[in-house]
Amino acid sequence: MAVIQWVKLCRPKVKAQVQVHGISQCKQPQRNYFASVVRLCENKELQKKYKNTVLLPVTTFPLHIEGHRRVENERYVQKAAEFSSLYAWQRQQSRDLEYVLHDGPPYANGQPHIGHAVNKILKDITLRHKLLRGYKIHYVPGWDCHGLPIELKATEKEKKTKGKKKLPTKDPLAVRATAKSFAEAAILTQKLAFERWGVMADWNNVYRTFDPEYVYKQLHLFADLYEKGYIYQSYKPVYFSPSSRTSLAEAELEYVPDHCSPSLYVALLASNLPSAIQEILNENGNPNVYLAIWTTTPWTLPANEAICFSVDEQYSLIRLTVNQQTVYVIWAKELLKELQQFASDLTELCCIKGSLLADVTYRHPLSERQCRCLPGEHVTVTKGTGLVHTAPAHGHEDFLVALQHKILVECKINQQGCYEADFGQELEGKNVLIDANEAVTELLSKPDGHGGPSIILNQGTFIHSYPYDWRTKKPVIIRASKQWFIDTDELKDKALEALKEVQIYPTDIQSGMEGMLKRRPYWCISRQRIWGCPIPVFYDATSDEPVTSREIIEHIVNLMKEKGADIWWELSEEELLPPTLVKQYQVEGKKLPRKGSDILDIWFDSGSSWYSVLGSPSADLYLEGIDQFTGWFQSSLLTSVAITGKAPYRNLYVHGFTLDEEGKKMSKSLGNVVDPHVITDGGKNHQKDPVYGADVLRWWVAGHVTNTSMVKVGKNILDSCSKQVQKVRLTLRFLLSALGDYQPSQHSLPVSALRPVDQYMLHLLHNHTEKVWENYNQFYYHKIVSSSVAFINSDVSSFYINLVRDRLYCESRWSPKRISALVVLQNLLNHLLFTLGPILPHLAEEITLHHPVKKGSRVFHQQTSGAPNAWKQPHLASIVEECLNIKKEIYHQHPDMNPFSMELHITAGGKSLNSLKVMQTSEDSQDSGLCELMQAARVVLLEDANEGFSFQICVPENSKCLRCRKVTARPKEDLCIRCQDVISSGW
842-881 pLDDT tens trace: 999 999 999 988 777 899 999 999 999 999 999 999 999 9
Number of CB atoms found within 10 A of residue 945's CB: 7
* Amino acid 350: pLDDT: 93
Q: State whether the Cα torsion 108-113-118-122 is positive or negative.
A: positive
* Amino acid 181: pLDDT: 93
Annotate 165-230 with DSSP letters as a single string: PPP-TT-HHHHHHHHHHHHHHHHHHHHHHHHHTT--S-TTS-EETTSHHHHHHHHHHHHHHHHTT-
Q: Name, in order, each residue with C-beta under 8 angstroms of 29's C-beta and a sequence gap of 6 or more.
A: 955, 956, 957
Can you tell me the distance from the alpha carbon of 657 to that of 861, in angstroms, rounded to the nearest whole number?
A: 33
Q: Name, in order, each residue with C-beta under 8 angstroms of 286's C-beta and a sequence gap of 6 or more.
A: none
* Amino acid 966: pLDDT: 94
What is the model's pTM? 0.83
Q: What stretches of 228-296 show up as alpha helix (H) in DSSP?
A: 275-283
* Amino acid 25: pLDDT: 41
- Contact (CB, 8 A) for 628 and 609: no
* Amino acid 917: pLDDT: 95
* Amino acid 43: pLDDT: 56
* Amino acid 630: pLDDT: 83
C-alpha count within 13 angstroms, C-beta hemisphere, residue 138:
15
Q: Give 612-670 as a 3 state SS string.
A: HHHCCCCEEEEEEEHHHHCCHHHHHHHHHHHHHCCCCEEEEEEECEEECCCCCECCCCC
- Contact (CB, 8 A) for 359 and 280: no
The DSSP secondary-structure symbol of 102 reads: P
Annotate 657-711 with DSSP letters as a single string: EEE-TTSPBP-TTTT-PPPHHHHHH--SSTTTS----HHHHHHHHHHHGGG-SEE
The DSSP secondary-structure symbol of 431 reads: B
Among 676, 662, 668, which Cα is nearest to 716's?
662
Can you tell me the distance from the alpha carbon of 848 to that of 696, in angstroms, rounded to the nearest whole number?
A: 19
Can you tell me the distance from the alpha carbon of 981 to that of 50, in angstroms, rounded to the nearest whole number?
A: 13
Can you tell me the distance from the alpha carbon of 128 to that of 839, in angstroms, rounded to the nearest whole number?
A: 8
Task: Tell which phi-psi region holds residue 491, choosing left (phi > 0), alpha (psi between -120 and 50) or beta.
Answer: alpha
Cis peptide before 506 (omega within 30 of 0): yes
* Amino acid 161: pLDDT: 57
Number of CB atoms found within 10 A of residue 986's CB: 8
Q: Which residues of the chain have pLDDT under 50?
A: 1-27, 29-31, 33-38, 40-41, 164-168
Find the helix or strand (DSSP H, E) in which 941 lies: strand 938-943
Can you tell me the distance from the alpha carbon of 950 to that of 909, in angstroms, rounded to the nearest whole number?
A: 9
Q: Name, in order, each residue with C-beta under 8 angstroms of 228's C-beta and a sequence gap of 6 or more.
A: 642, 643
Can you tell me the distance from the alpha carbon of 547 to that of 585, in angstroms, rounded to the nearest whole number?
A: 13
- Contact (CB, 8 A) for 955 and 30: yes
Residue 825 has phi, psi (to 5 degrees) of -65, -40
Q: Name, in order, each residue with C-beta under 8 angstroms of 294's C-beta and a sequence gap of 6 or more.
A: 263, 264, 265, 266, 338, 383, 384, 385, 389
CB burial of residue 921 (10 Å; 0-12, 13-18, 19+): exposed
CB burial of residue 718 (10 Å; 0-12, 13-18, 19+): buried
* Amino acid 318: pLDDT: 94
Q: Give Dmax (Cα) for the chain.
A: 129
